[in-house]
A = this chain, B = another copy of it.
Amino acid sequence: MSDNKQLTAAMLPSGFRWGAVRAGIKSSGNLDLAVALATDAGSAVGAALFTSNRVVAAPVTVGRRHMTATGGRVAAVLVNAGNANCATGAAGIAGCVATCVAVAESIGCIFDEVFPSSTGIIGVPFPADKVVAALPALKASVGSSVEHAESFARAIMTTDTKLKTAHAELAVNASGAAQGDGAGRRVRIWGAAKGAGMICPRLGAPVGPPHATMLVYLFTDVKAEASALGMALATAAEPSFNSISIDGDTSTNDTVLLVASGASGVRLNKELTSAFNAALGEVCQSLARQIVADGEGVGHVVTLEVRGAASEDDARRVARAIAHSPLCKTAWSSADPNWGRLLAAAGYSGASFEAERVRIWIGEQPVFEYGVRAASFDEAKAHAAMMEGEYTIRIDLGAGNGECNFLTCDLTAEYVRINADYST
């Protein structure tokens, strides 16, 4: 339901066409400009979440304005990779708007119905002219096949090594509710994501620490109000994109967009909401997991299950402290069951607990219980669990009922190599 292996055109939401071209923005010469067009430009609506970084890229500023101005109408999504259009001042804003205007003229919509995104290096002047020059070819590239959709997903990649897509499908009965037997009308959701570094999204209002250029585009053919899409997206983003971190650096460009074409003819009514939200949640969880698994230099994906915290906030404090601790992350890179570093990071997280009540497991192995190393701790077994590509660390703080799951990864010499080489 949530990977792209057996994707067929019938699984893609109707009412959209996708395309991509080489506009010469990436120095590699790879695909770097992507577009998604609503077939019926006037009827597609969307909702978006943006980074909470105080410093935001021009397309985030422009995209926010456009969504507000149109009440969520989205006729086109325009994404470039290779240049973040961030810290580019008034020229960056002007360049972004110019590309939206050019797309609008090209496809016949209003310029603020074009939703822009950029990802890449910060502080380099935005090559709006290259984007505009590539628009005729971009328009000619669009279609509704799997190959078209995947060209969109491929063009937005930067240091990603893998294509990241996910899909889900709902069957709906005559009265508009989800139908278990798979018969009836269909609602489809397909999403594409990019992100491998600067990944620690904190989507929401511009307060507090956020992190990463993550771009996510979710397309569905359900018929919905922008406000209902906004609620569905906020609900889906919290346990997925807002619960992952690769490096703890929150980007200036993070964007998650959900667009509904309405082409299925199925309304997102009260009866369908819970099933739709569940399906959207699965797509988001799958994309979030794919992002961490393809993180820069990542060797191991680690799920942190924090239990027994005094509050959910405390649970998240502990998860984030561990997920951002260089000492925890380097130990994971060598499958070293150094649980003392986990305990130390929990201790400085700001969460309230007593070490004497804490229990920690690595995989199935209890490693720490009530103030001391677990009596049954088997270092070789814990090491073996950590040799797996993916495993779980569980921490019960013994302080209450707050809990969270958080997905993160190790810190490797390869991560350092990749990021020591970025702009030079």
Contacts and interface: CB of A to CB of B under 8 A. Distances in A.
A392 interface: no
Interface string A184-217: 0000000000000110001000011111000000
A125 B373 CA distance: 9
Nearest to A368: B87
Contact of A53 (B87, B338, B344): B344
A250 B355 CA distance: 16
A89 interface: yes
A408 interface: no
A405 interface: no
A326 B247 contact: yes
A86 B337 CA distance: 16
Nearest to A210: B348
B343 A424 contact: no
State the copy count for this chain. 2
A370 to B, nearest CB: 8
B53 A420 contact: no
Interface of A: 52-56, 84, 86-92, 121-125, 197-198, 202, 207-211, 247-252, 321, 324-327, 330-331, 333-334, 336-341, 343-356, 368, 370-373, 383, 411-413, 415-417, 419-424
A249 B422 CA distance: 25
B345 A249 contact: yes
A87 B421 contact: no
B420 A87 contact: no
A89 B334 contact: no
B423 A90 contact: no
A327 B197 contact: yes
Given A87-B355, A336-B421, 8 more contacts: A54-B351, A86-B340, A87-B371, A210-B347, A249-B341, A252-B340, A334-B421, A338-B422
11 contacts: A84-B340, A122-B343, A122-B344, A207-B350, A248-B325, A249-B345, A330-B419, A330-B420, A333-B416, A334-B420, A412-B416
Contact of A348 (B52, B122, B338, B343): B52
Contacts of A88: 372
A344 B424 contact: no
A296 to B, nearest CB: 10
A317 to B, nearest CB: 9
Contacts of A327: 197-198, 247, 249, 419
Nearest to A351: B54
Contacts of A411: 326, 416
A424 B334 CA distance: 9
B415 A89 contact: no
B326 A419 contact: yes
A262 B63 CA distance: 68
A18 B256 CA distance: 62
A331 B421 CA distance: 7
Could you say which of A53, A123, A209 has the most chain B C-beta atoms within 10 Å of its C-beta?
A123
A348 B416 contact: no
B54 A353 contact: yes
Contacts of A333: 416, 420
A242 to B, nearest CB: 13
Contacts of A353: 54
Contacts of A122: 338, 340-341, 343-344
Contacts of A417: 413
Contacts of A334: 420-421, 424
A55 B123 contact: no
A419 to B, nearest CB: 4
Nearest to A339: B123
A209 B345 CA distance: 9
A178 to B, nearest CB: 39
Contacts of A370: 89
